[in-house]
Amino acid sequence: MTADQLTKLRVLIDAKMSRLKRQIIDLKELTKPIEPDCAIGRVSRMDAINNKSVNEMALRKKENQLKGLLLAVEDIDKPDFQNCIVCGYPIQIERLFIMPESRKCMSCASKSIG
């Protein structure tokens, strides 16, 4: 990875982390407990509970993504930063720019999905 690409990746990671932090704050607000004395109908209450569950899952996903980005910031200066943790081959630069928190190449990531 060139120095210019590394700089661009750092800027991208910082921007993603800022965006994720804002989204996490919003999702935490949406996942607050629903008051039982809240004056909404039974169907609306069930809808609110369902939405809360969806938002909780989105919150966990965003928090995990933020953790991955924080690890990427810690590791970005290491010589093996771009290498896949499974096979050891370089992770495609395009993948790092799309998912900088990824520690696996496309081949190894697709194997773990299926």
CATH code given to domain 3-113? 1.20.120.910
HSE at residue 65, side-chain half, CA atoms within 13 A, is 19
CA distance 81 to 84: 8
Q: How many residues does the chain have?
A: 114
Quickly state the pLDDT bin for 114 (edges 50, 70, 90). low
pTM here? 0.80
Q: Which residue's entry shows tokens 């010589």?
A: 79
pLDDT per residue over 8-21, tens digit each?
A: 999 999 999 999 99
Sign of CA dihedral 108, 91, 74, 78: positive
36-85 pLDDT, tens digit per residue, is 665 666 667 788 888 999 999 999 999 999 999 999 999 999 999 999 99
